[in-house]
Chains A and B, each alone.
Chain A
Amino acid sequence: MTEVSDKKILELFRDEGSRHYGFNLLVRKYQRRIYMHIRRMVIIHDDADDLVQETFIKVWKNLSNFRNDSQLFTWIYRIATNEALSFLKQKRRKYMLLTFDLHHYDKLLTGNIQDDNYFTGDEVELKLQKSLLTLPEKQRLVFNMKYFDNMKYDEISEVTGTSVGALKASYHIAVKKIEKYLRLN
């Protein structure tokens, strides 16, 4: 089945009669990428599932206001990224208040990766994911988008609102930290 263009999806969505059909096409087109983007950030499937649904609900509510200043997928990515970052912030705050440990939630996630039924990576992949969890979340975000999603810096810039130069520096630092982690572990 050929992929429907963003332009066609937007046309369908703007027409009251075909709005639901257009939205379903949009969900089917982007659900895997958005899910994986969120899942890499929040690690646990159930959390990712909830956040993906919230992301698409926000897309539904705001798509009529979407202007073609940016690409549709970077716009959806931005919503998904904000959802994931807000979620992580809330979780961290909650666990910090419960345990007085600033990094408790990240430690919890590291443990979760190993026990997760929906993580089937080998030892190297597990080590890479653990090293990623040692990064500040915005560095992790940039690394994921660049490394796993093959996004260009200007696309990442659209999503994060950060300059390309800062993103390059962030990615470089992330790589160095990962190297160091892998060398030591």
Chain B
Amino acid sequence: MSQKDKTYKGKPIEGLDENPEILAGSSKGNPFTVPDGYFDRLPVMINERLKEKKENHFYRIVELMKFKWRLALVAAGFVTVVLVSLLWISNYSNDALPDISDISISDILQDNPDFFNSLEESDIINIIFANLEDEQNFINDLGFSDITDDELIEYLSNDDIETDELLYNL
């Protein structure tokens, strides 16, 4: 059976001009109806929806926790990327500096002969041997393998040898 209110009396709008308040007390029809038994089912539907909302609330908390974990993972990943990038930039910067060992010493000496004029011979000897990984190989390369260290030092310390002679023979 329809839930429609059957007490509607006709035309409640009549008399509106004269006294609108008269409408408030008059019986008004309710043209809006609902499916049969709707109001019997409504409390049950509301309770079911409440249960659904509570369950959804639980799943939302679980989802939120998952989301937090995801967020933590993303943050950790981001930090890792930043750290790796910083390390790479730091290494790149070091690599970018010219390595003195890669430059031929003779090139330097030929390009800047005046600079070495101010150096003592002992300084030059120290520089040459400081940049050599293997002193003995150097000596071999020069064909001085049969010369002892002491002889060589004595020779290099000899005041009669000109610095230029020493340098250009390298």
Contacts and interface: CB of A to CB of B under 8 A. Distances in A.
Contact of A172 (B11, B20, B33): B20
A8 to B, nearest CB: 17
Contacts of A49: 38, 42
Interface stretch (A29-37, A65-73, A103-111): A29-37
A128 B33 contact: no
Contact of A57 (B31, B32, B50): B50
Contact of A178 (B16, B45, B50): B16
A126 B2 CA distance: 18
Contacts of B17: 179
B46 A36 contact: no
A148 B147 CA distance: 123
B36 to A, nearest CB: 11
Contacts, number: 78
A53 interface: yes
B45 to A, nearest CB: 6
Interface in B7-33: 8, 10-13, 16-17, 20, 23-25, 28-33
B44 to A, nearest CB: 9
B98 interface: no
10 contacts: A27-B43, A27-B46, A40-B32, A45-B32, A57-B50, A118-B32, A122-B31, A125-B31, A147-B24, A147-B28
Interface of A: 20, 24, 27-28, 31-32, 35-36, 39-40, 45, 49, 52-53, 56-57, 60, 118-122, 124-126, 128-129, 146-148, 150, 171-172, 175, 178-179, 182
State the 9 A-B residue pairs at the shortest beta-carbon distance, nearest first. A121-B31, A125-B31, A175-B20, A27-B43, A118-B33, A56-B46, A124-B11, A39-B32, A179-B16
